[in-house]
Amino acid sequence: MGMVLNDGVALLQLALVLSSLYVGLLSAERSTYIVHMDKSLMPKPFTGPHHWYSSAIDSIKSTNPTASIGQKSTAKLLYTYDSALHGFSAVLSEDELEDLKESPGFLSAYGDRQVTVDTTHTTDFLSLDPATGLWPASNYGRDVIIGVVDSGVWPESKSFDDRWMTEAVADGVDVISISMGFDFVPLHEDPIAIASFGAMEKGVFVSTSAGNRAFRRPLHNGIPWVLTVAAGSVDRSFAGTLTLGNGVTIIGWTTFPASGFIKNLPLNYNKTISPCNSTELLSKAPYGILICDDYQTRFTGIDESDILAVITVDTAMPTAMGAGHVDPNRALDPGLIYDATPQDYVNLLCSMNITQNQIMTITRSSSYSCSNPSSDLNYPSFIAFYHEFKEGVLVQKFERTVTNVGPGATKYNVKVKAPKGSVITVSPKTLVFGKMHEKKKLHSHHTL
């Protein structure tokens, strides 16, 4: 009996050792991380950021168990960033990352992500004419330097590496065009959002793509301080077959391909499956539109082909303020513009549920203030929040600052077209400018 006990103890100890070794091997697996640092906290002995970051990497002592069997830390510094963002990228294990978090000046870190490329098949869709239209009206882009960040016609070329965005800012470009983006990434972990904030501070105009996933898909690059462009049309069409109930088939073309848009579906509500939180029950749900009670339901483990679309009813977000369709020719001479400063964008960040370190990850500075948080940007569009069950008259007030970029002496009159069921008043009704770049304030009341 004693022998069995000893053998059992020995086996248990061996299992624990193997388990610890397995956990150690997992923690020793390395990934690429983007690390953001507070440059203002760089110790004086260092000659520059690269020296500082290299020292931080060199000082990492891996604490994973594999070190005891002869493996040493192989943390590696890849790139140093010091223009559009402050920090570096490095190959680290989880343990090394945890050690790095204790370094002075550490703000945040996140794993490297795959970027979605949106480059179109050709630029001919712009229909630029050298004789008429936007091209000659803009003086053919003379004296404007444009930096393009995308996959390029030769994706393997180093010139299309997205790390060059920070170099483009340092080189003094006027415009940066980015035809790629990250899906479902918060602003403080989005390299494009972070780098473009630094570009915006330096007066560089950043234009990004909204994605190529058509109108039923989420956009990426929903970044307040950049121009996010979505096409209103597409120069390609896709064939489809419509089959009627009597067997007649009709072949047609569409610019928005999908698995099928079907009308006259039955509406189903069943208390058993209405929480929509069981894959097994949902797979047995009757064909048609299913009403779900729980708005927080996670639709995991369900094949996309089983569901035409998931419908949610939610309040609008402060960043959901699009500018609508743009006439490029008229945009060359807008007359009035709704300008915004870096502090305005910081005020927006301060109104969101993110930490001070996360804000500093984007702004790269502690000099900005959060004393006036506001979700209302100086945009030409508005978003008004109303309490759903509040009785009586509901009023929202907005203030906008407009800048005259037209001729010196200019007068503008306000015209209002209010949505049905609401009243909108704007004051003053006339704006008179005496010179270019003069600013005026507009006040509007939205009554529902």
Which position has the higher pLDDT, 248 or 19? 248
Q: Which amino acid is at 397?
A: K
The number of domains in the chain is: 3
Q: Are residues 163 and 176 in the same domain?
A: yes
In a domain, 329, yes or no: yes
In a domain, 127, yes or no: yes
**Segments forming the whole domain that contains residue 62:** 2-111
In a domain, 411, yes or no: yes
Q: Are residues 228 and 171 in the same domain?
A: yes
Q: Are residues 91 and 211 in the same domain?
A: no
Structural domain ending residue among the three candidates 111, 126, 147:
111
Reported as a single tens digit per residue, the pLDDT across 26-71 is 446 889 999 999 998 999 889 899 999 999 998 885 444 444 445 5
Report which of 327, 9, 392, 397 is spatially closest to residue 1, judged by C-alpha positions.
9
Q: What per-residue confidence (pLDDT) applies to 412?
A: 92
Reported as a single tens digit per residue, the pLDDT across 219-275 is 788 899 998 887 666 666 667 676 766 888 878 776 555 555 555 666 677 777 777
Phi and psi (nearest 5°) for 20?
A: -65, -40
In a domain, 260, yes or no: no
Q: Are residues 322 and 204 in the same domain?
A: yes
Residue 283 has pLDDT above 90, yes or no: no
Structural domain ending residue among the three candidates 52, 87, 111:
111
Q: Are residues 157 and 217 in the same domain?
A: yes
Q: Are residues 221 and 338 in the same domain?
A: yes
Which position has the higher pLDDT, 8 or 101? 101
Q: What is the CATH number of the domain that holds 414?
A: 2.60.40.2310
Residues shown for the chain: 448
Q: Are residues 214 and 194 in the same domain?
A: yes
Stretch 60-83: mean pLDDT, rounded? Answer: 67
Q: What is the CATH number of the domain that holds 45?
A: 3.30.70.80
Q: How far apart are CA 75 and CA 320, in angstroms?
A: 41
In a domain, 407, yes or no: yes
Contacts of residue 394, Cβ cutoff 8 Å, sequence gap at least 6: 386, 387, 447, 448
Q: Are residues 56 and 103 in the same domain?
A: yes
Stretch 352-380: mean pLDDT, rounded? Answer: 90
In a domain, 144, yes or no: yes
Reported as a single tens digit per residue, the pLDDT across 115-141 is 877 766 666 666 778 888 888 888 877
Reported as a single tens digit per residue, the pLDDT across 431-446 is 999 999 999 999 998 8
Contacts of residue 385, Cβ cutoff 8 Å, sequence gap at least 6: 315, 316, 396
In a domain, 275, yes or no: no
Q: Are residues 220 and 343 in the same domain?
A: yes
Residue 304 has pLDDT above 60, yes or no: no
Residue 6 host element (H or E): helix 2-28
Q: Are residues 67 and 83 in the same domain?
A: yes
Q: Are residues 84 and 217 in the same domain?
A: no
Residue 16 has pLDDT above 70, yes or no: no
Structural domain ending residue among the three candidates 111, 139, 166:
111
CA atoms within 13 A on the CB side of 10: 6
DSSP 352: S
Q: What per-residue confidence (pLDDT) applies to 248?
A: 82
In a domain, 37, yes or no: yes
Q: Are residues 101 and 160 in the same domain?
A: no
Find tokens 């006259």 and name the residue: 264
CA atoms within 13 A on the CB side of 45: 2
